[in-house]
A = this chain, B = another copy of it.
Amino acid sequence: MIEVGIVGGTGYTGVELLRILALHPEVRIRVVTSRGDVGKAVADAYPNLRGYVDARFVEPSIEALIECEVVFFATPNGTAMRMAPVLLDRGSRLIDLAADFRLRDPTVWESWYGEPHACPDLLTEAVYGLPEVYRERIRSARLIACPGCYPTAVQLGLLPLIEAKAVRLDHLIADVKSGVSGAGRKAEIPLLMSEAGEGFKAYNVPRHRHWPEIKQGLQDFAGEAVGLTFVPHLVPMIRGIHATLYAELCDDSIDLQQVFAQRFAHESFVDVLPGGCHPDTRNVRGSNRCQVAVHRPLSGRTVVVLSVIDNLVKGAAGQAVQCFNIMSGLDEGSGLQSVGLYP
């Protein structure tokens, strides 16, 4: 059994980690921290975990975490980078579900996150936790930067097109829609059901922090600069991300379905739907799967890719556990076999 700690166990990604790890056959949850709920039983805060998780919340301290072989950070941005150097020194391996290690350039990081990075030297060591691209590097990593939820859906959807050089790179569009849990468990007016229910809107159109992360990722796939427009929207549902991706085809003769099918043929968590299908976020709810479909409306030159994930699973906690499995030499799907909850 591998002993793990979870820093920040009260946000949605933290609770989702608990839900997944509670049934993981190779894991013992040793520490769960929460500054605000110290002493409280985890299962009192989250009654769905009654009988599955016995832990009580403790203070997030190095001492508490030092015995953990792997520490997951499900904390607000800016937390993991303050504890990472010491924990790594003492031999823990870290998986950060926040944004602290996602951007390689500390200047870019600072301009988007509003403070200097606390350990810029670790930015280059950190491995971006997208197994479909970086599996080998994840295997031996000490520090994983789990991709954001939007970046996961967008990158997996555009990856085959970019690798196959099938599309123009200067005018990529990602119109992405997220359920409200993506905004986290924060007491804010716009997230109230009375505000977010029965309505639909875009937000942060002028700029959103996932833009530089996606752009960096796509450029890594392409080996050159890309032009990206990214528009996020809020959907009146709890879980799910749907990315609708637009690109202009370079070559009319390419078999797009084939490109996608081949690229993900050996990926157990990316499922390419047959031609003509439209993925629905409901079919991946609670599962670690990305379902993806590729279209050419009216047989024109615009490619439309539809990519769906559960933002809390493949977009956060599930992907973190997938990385954990890889790092730990376990079966990559260990603890991640749940079927999407339909209806």
A residues contacting the other copy or chain, number (CB 8 A): 89
A34 within 8 A of B: no
Q: Report the Cα distance A35→B19, complex, angstroms.
A: 38
Interfacial chain B residues near A144, Cβ < 8 Å: none
A281 within 8 A of B: yes
Interfacial chain B residues near A246, Cβ < 8 Å: 173, 175, 229, 246
A297 within 8 A of B: yes
A340 within 8 A of B: yes
Closest to A343 in B: B194
Q: Report the Cα distance A240→B281, complex, angstroms.
A: 20
Complex copy number for this chain: 4
Q: Among the listed B173, B199, B277, B282, which residue makes an inter-chain contact with A280, where contact means beta carbons less than 8 Å apart?
A: B199
Q: Which of A288-335 contact B (CB under 8 A)?
A: 291, 295-298, 300, 302, 304, 306, 308, 312
A235 within 8 A of B: yes
CB distance from A107 to the nearest CB of B (A): 16
Minimum-distance CB pairs A-B, first 5:
A199-B282, A48-B340, A201-B280, A193-B193, A194-B343
| Selected A-B contacts with CB under 8 Å, 7 pairs | A12-B194, A175-B244, A187-B187, A198-B237, A199-B283, A229-B304, A286-B286
